[in-house]
Amino acid sequence: MRPGVRSLFVVLTLGLAPACQGNRDQLLADLQSPRPEVRAQAVQSLAKQGNADDLVLFTRSAKDMASIVRGEAAEALGGSQDPRVVDLLGELLEDPDESVQGRAAMALSKIKNDKAKAYLTLQYSRRARNTRQIIVQALKSANVPGAMAEAVAAESKAIWERNLLTLHEGSLPERVGAAEELGKSGRPEAITRLLPLVRDSQVILAAAAVRGLGDAGDRRAVAAILPLLDENFPQLREASLTALSKLQDPSAVARLQAVALEKSAVSSLASDALISMPRGPETNAALCTISLEGTLAESLAAGRAMRAHGGCPLEPIAERLSRPAALDSGLQAVAGLGAAAQPLLSRVLPWLASADPHQRRLALEAVTAIGDASAAPAVQKLYEQETQALVPLRQDWVPAPLPLTYAPGFDPSAPQDEKDSRNTKTSQLFDRVRNLNAQRARETGRVQVQARVPSELYDEVEPQRLEPLAAVLRALGAVKAPGALELLKQYAGDSSVTLRSAALVGLARLGPEGVEVAKGGMFEAERELQKALAQALAEQGEAGQAALVSLLPQFSSEKLVLLDALNRFGAPASASPALQEVVRGGGAEAVLAASILGKLQAKDAVETLIKALEDPAGVARREVLLALGELGDSRAAEGVARDLYHDQPEIRAAAATALQRMGTSAQAEALDALKSDYYRRVREAASAALAKGGTAGEGAR
């Protein structure tokens, strides 16, 4: 360096030294500031100075009450690259604040030793989605090959060892949970360990082992589960039926049929298991047998399941209809099959005149299920008989119309003692709340469900006595009898909820005009009436489904009744805007709304569903992912792929399934890592997504 330049450098250095020292003193003072942002800025500025003596300051700041300070401290500690701070950063990786966790993970990546890597892989299984994703990035920054695969493998190993240890050494409740979790892994070793437990003396543990075998998805377990159906323990039998339903093995059909026909407490589970199985000659024959031989509930369920599969042979049913001793089974089979049994209508109609009320009722249910207009005269005749029988039972106590408002002193909402100021204030407060709720409902276009005010007083007639007439009212709508519309309108305002519900269901079956009248009944306060009517409307096709969709914005609550019916029976394409609004509202309703949007292939809902993924606490996350997969729009791939890092296995599986349906090879590395996930369903979904993505990529090339 030339002498003149050297002199200038010395002068500048001597001049800046006091300024730097003054700046550092200020930063040290700022570390004591009551304002968190000032303390955080001080930590950041000190870290930039790179003074090794400041490590103790950063250590102290890592314990700060403010997360913003702890985050800066984590980054400063990582920048020091001092191996002594690894344990402290490991603690910060468990910080309650997610942003601190992420900064601690990236800080650990700068300290490239085995201990830092061990902290990252250990905490991967304990953290939520965002931190898990940052941990993988940190491992990559630390030059760990196959970063995510290593983290997933470590998580899988830890879960397996924990469950295995608990199964052998835990308390009974802990062993039960461990048995089920081992089964969810789907590993061959899990099946080997669970099979001996199905005969354990502790029934609760044996049942857990059976449920675990069902989740494992290996049909080799069927041979060990089937004998358990002969046990006397209901809990064990229920677990066995649930497992067989998941395993879907045709070899179990005969035993499931036998249990369904024994008319026990678990018969319905056996029927459900058969209904869930893939259709084949053996399964169809079993369901047809249940429709003839089972209890009424199982018979109807089996018959309805066969409607979409060509129905059942009619000759055995016809033979039953010709024998009074076997009549009940024949009629309930017809009621289950519905229109598929229409050729048997002529054999059913004579039984509408049976002297036996039970046979008459079954025949009416069969006629209603068939829904043929030729049965209208017989149903009308039965209506006349039922109404005449009820006339003496439903006489008016008071012929004049009843008042619709309370007389002075009888209003239960008014204070009992007008002189009591506390009662007056309480009443006024409740009035204000009711008025505000009503005003809010009006402003949003919603209608509040109101309890009905009785307009007539009748002698007490038990609902069971009104059921025969209610069944006739439903039948009048089903067969579209002449004059049924006006008649059912009258009963739609009846004081009996039994008759009112039946009339509204009947109206729903009378085409657009009947649907328009019936949908008003959805604002009734009775929950069971709402459910029956919503199902009846949804069953009528587009007209009834459109009516339910039009009601969605008007319901401030009870949307689940509408959405459940639409989810079961379908929704029109025009439902997309209303369903998207439900998804935006979140809550339990969004689960069904997202599912319906996926079934509708509602392409216009992609942006709404992507937006819904931004809510980390959304309860409909799984259904939103699957819906995006159904829509197949590659714009959603990035948002969906983030959930491959989710801490819940069902969400990871849904994300992989969605990517598979999109046919995209995005996030192939993450999907490949999930092939070693602990949970079988995640591994299978990831493998399927890779296969589909690879095929799509080759096709594109």
Per-residue pLDDT tens digits for 38-90? 999 999 999 999 898 899 999 999 999 999 999 999 999 999 999 999 999 99
pLDDT at 296: 93
Identify the residue with better confidence: 19 or 117.
117
Range of weakest confidence among 406-410, 473-477, 621-625: 406-410
| pTM as predicted | 0.84
Q: Is the pLDDT of residue 548 over 60?
A: yes
Q: Work out the average pLDDT over 157-185.
A: 97
Instruction: List Cβ neighbours of 282 (8 Å cut-off, separation of 6 or more).
Output: 250, 253, 254
pLDDT at 464: 85
Q: Is the pLDDT of residue 224 over 70?
A: yes
Write the burial class of residue 74 (CB in 10 Å: 0-12 exposed, 13-18 middle, 19+ buried). buried
Identify the residue with better confidence: 587 or 534.
534
CA distance 591 to 623: 6
CA distance 381 to 369: 18
CA distance 612 to 640: 11
Q: Work out the average pLDDT over 152-167.
A: 97
For the segment 293-347, what is each residue's pLDDT rounded down to a tens digit? 999 999 999 999 999 888 999 999 999 999 999 999 999 999 999 999 999 999 9
pLDDT at 129: 94
Q: Is the pLDDT of residue 370 over 70?
A: yes
Q: Is the pLDDT of residue 107 over 90?
A: yes
pLDDT at 430: 67
* Residue 420 identity: D
Q: Which of 201, 212, 202, 203 is nearest to 177 (CA)?
A: 212
pLDDT at 534: 96
Q: Work out the average pLDDT over 673-683.
A: 97
CA 569 vs CA 45, 286, 405, 502, 662: distances in Å: 63, 25, 41, 20, 26
Q: How confident is the model at residue 465 (pLDDT cuts 50, 70, 90)?
A: confident
pLDDT at 19: 44
pLDDT at 176: 97
Range of weakest confidence among 139-148, 424-433, 610-619: 424-433
Q: How confident is the model at residue 451 (pLDDT cuts 50, 70, 90)?
A: low
* Percentage of the chain lying above the pLDDT 70 cut: 86
Instruction: List Cβ neighbours of 479 (8 Å cut-off, separation of 6 or more).
Output: 367, 368, 371, 372, 373, 374, 375, 376, 379
Q: Is the pLDDT of residue 658 over 60?
A: yes
Q: Which of 72, 109, 73 is nearest to 88 (CA)?
A: 73
Q: Which of 468, 515, 521 is nearest to 493 (CA)?
A: 521
Q: Mean pLDDT, the chain, as a whole number?
A: 88
Please check whether residue 83 is in contact with residue 111, taking contact to mean a CB–CB distance below 8 angstroms.
yes
For the segment 248-274, what is each residue's pLDDT rounded down to a tens digit? 999 999 999 999 999 999 999 999 999
Q: How confident is the model at residue 180 (pLDDT cuts 50, 70, 90)?
A: very high
Q: Is the pLDDT of residue 701 over 90?
A: no
What beta strand segments (E) does 488-574 contain? none
pLDDT at 699: 30
Q: Is the pLDDT of residue 9 over 50?
A: no
Please check whether residue 627 is in contact with residue 595, taking contact to mean a CB–CB distance below 8 angstroms.
yes
CA distance 442 to 269: 45
Domains and CATH numbers, the chain: 26-144 (1.25.10.10), 158-341 (1.25.10.10), 371-394+421-453+460-541 (no CATH)
DSSP 587: S
> Could you identify the residue written with the tokens 């009775």?
526
Identify the residue with better confidence: 658 or 456.
658
Range of weakest confidence among 94-98, 290-294, 333-337, 557-561: 557-561
Q: Work out the average pLDDT over 530-555.
A: 94
SS3 content of the chain, % helix, strand, coil (to 5): 75, 0, 25
pLDDT at 555: 85
pLDDT at 1: 47
pLDDT at 542: 92
Q: Which of 659, 662, 696, 663 is nearest to 674 (CA)?
A: 659
